[in-house]
């Protein structure tokens, strides 16, 4: 009987597959541990605001943090592109090229970070014109952005450092960077809001300080990792500014920027649509996105493993290795998604009550909880395919898949909201996540084409 490609994919067994599985776990476990601290930051942000007197504090931090995320999402390619290029160069054992990719990324990161600082007043004014929000939410959002945008240079440089460390599979170093940033952010939130008596400005200041502390910790870690491959040296200006290589880097960056900006815009679209209902719906949606973060960041552990190992396989032109990487990372991620869905079904109500004590917000948050429970299983394919395509530096496919998904998502919001209210908005977002994974899976043959035949 002829076996289907899916059956062959699920039944591969070999010593190579076991070795790849060990590598996946070696990368994924530290990343899962470190990434688990990321949603804790959002939980603390939302929790400290959620236990103040008014719902608009939650809304101000929600919109401010999403806008900051949107700004930096435009530069998220610094981490992803650097990971892909460094992993491929390391897989080919071209350590000089690793250094060139590193310095090129750092140069671009510093420039872009300073641009964000300079454009902060314009960003605030534009947001006030475009978004639907109460006067109290608008004022709080402006305070948040004025402070947190000062950390943009640290954030962009940290992205490149993280990309280098992932590409070189220095996973413990990435864990240390992420835990440092997120721990200081959490402690700063509690001290500045509850200890000093600040409100939105305390949350923003804690975030800014955390990123600069993370930079101080991670820069030496990157230098140490680079020295293991080759003597550390500054690449020549001709190498860093090679127009063809820089053009490829920025072209990939543009594709990834469009892709990532669409993700953040979709989330902002949900918040804006919820804000059009009332401040309670907006606050409940922020609670929902905090829970979604608790889903997303652990799943990212297997996506990061797919990034690093796919890049290595492409650098070696090893199709067999890639096949095992694809199978192992996806199957392990699906298991993790199922576990997370079960945990969320049991612990979701408790988590909501932890995030806010406002009765109206708790009630509305419970309405969207069933959607959040199934979200890990619906979104897991999208996470893993993102990892594979980042490792392959195939940003155009990621961009196109995202644009198709958003083109379906936006009309669905307008169709579902009149029928189902806030639940309809979140149902459209759920379908967006599922469609992203499916559209990328259809393009997996393009990645296989980069490797030698099995």
What lies within 8 Å, CB to CB, of 70 at 6+ separation is 261, 264, 265, 268
What's the pLDDT at 238? 66
Decide if pLDDT at 39 tops 70: no
133-148 pLDDT tens trace: 667 777 777 888 888 8
Task: Answer whether 295's CB lies under 8 Å from 41's CB.
Answer: no
How wide is the angle at C-alpha 387 spanned by C-alphas 23 and 343, nearest 5°?
Answer: 80
Decide if pLDDT at 1 tops 50: no
Q: Tell me how far CA of residue 430 lies from CA of 37, 92, 95, in angstroms.
A: 24, 39, 42
54-75 pLDDT tens trace: 566 676 777 777 777 777 767 7
d(CA 20, CA 27): 11
d(CA 251, CA 325): 26
Where is average pLDDT lowest: 38-47, 83-92, 195-204, 317-326?
Answer: 38-47
Domain boundaries of the chain, sorted by first residue: 11-448
Using 50, 70 and 90 to split pLDDT, how confident is the model at 9?
very low
How wide is the angle at C-alpha 316 spanned by C-alphas 308 and 25, nearest 5°?
Answer: 35
What lies within 8 Å, CB to CB, of 327 at 6+ separation is 9, 10, 12, 17
Token pair recorded at residue 72? 């930096």
Average confidence (pLDDT) over 185-207: 80
Average confidence (pLDDT) over 138-167: 87
Average confidence (pLDDT) over 164-169: 86
- SS3 state at 149: helix
Q: pTM for this one? A: 0.73
């Amino acid at each position: 009987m002829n076996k289907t490609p899916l059956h062959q994919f699920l039944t591969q067994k070999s010593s190579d597959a076991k070795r790849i599985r060990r590598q996946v776990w070696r990368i994924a476990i530290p990343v899962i541990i470190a990434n688990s601290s990321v949603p804790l930051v959002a939980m603390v942000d939302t929790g400290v605001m959620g236990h103040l007197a008014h719902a608009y504090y939650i809304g101000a931090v929600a919109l401010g943090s999403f806008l900051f995320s949107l700004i930096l999402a435009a530069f998220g390619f610094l981490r992803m592109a650097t990971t892909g290029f460094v992993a491929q160069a390391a897989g080919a054992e071209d350590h000089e090229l690793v250094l060139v990719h590193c310095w090129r990324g750092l140069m671009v990161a510093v420039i872009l970070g300073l641009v964000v600082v300079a454009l902060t007043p314009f960003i605030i004014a534009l947001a006030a014109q475009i978004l639907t929000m109460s006067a109290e939410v608008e004022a709080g959002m402006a305070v948040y952005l004025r402070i947190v945008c000062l950390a943009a240079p640290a954030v962009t440089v940290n992205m490149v450092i993280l990309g280098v460390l992932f590409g070189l599979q220095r996973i413990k170093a990435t864990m240390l960077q992420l835990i440092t940033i997120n721990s200081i952010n959490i402690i700063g939130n509690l001290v500045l809001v509850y200890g000093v008596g600040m409100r939105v400005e305390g949350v923003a200041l804690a975030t800014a300080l955390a990123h600069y502390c993370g930079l101080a910790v991670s820069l030496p870690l990157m230098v140490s990792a680079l020295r293991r491959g080759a003597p550390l040296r500054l690449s020549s200006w001709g190498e860093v500014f090679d127009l063809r290589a820089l053009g490829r880097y920025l072209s990939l960056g543009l594709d990834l920027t469009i892709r990532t900006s669409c993700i953040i815009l979709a989330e902002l679209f949900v918040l804006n649509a919820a804000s059009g209902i009332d401040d309670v719906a907006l606050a409940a949606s922020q609670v929902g996105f905090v829970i979604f973060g608790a889903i997303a960041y652990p799943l990212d552990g297997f996506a990061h493993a797919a990034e690093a190992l796919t890049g290595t396989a492409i650098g070696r032109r090893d199709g067999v290795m890639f096949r095992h990487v694809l199978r192992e990372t996806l199957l392990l991620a699906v298991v993790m998604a199922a576990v997370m869905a079960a945990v969320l079904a049991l612990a979701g109500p408790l988590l909501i009550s932890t995030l806010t004590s406002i009765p109206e917000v708790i009630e509305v948050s419970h309405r969207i909880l069933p959607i959040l429970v199934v979200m890990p299983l619906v979104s897991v394919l999208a996470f893993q395919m993102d990892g594979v395509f980042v490792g392959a530096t195939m940003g155009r496919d990621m961009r196109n898949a995202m644009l198709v998904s958003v083109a379906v998502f936006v009309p669905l919001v307008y169709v579902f909201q009149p029928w189902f209210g806030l639940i309809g908005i979140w149902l459209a977002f759920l379908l967006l996540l599922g469609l992203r994974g499916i559209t990328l899976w259809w393009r997996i043959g393009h990645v296989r084409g980069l490797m030698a035949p099995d």
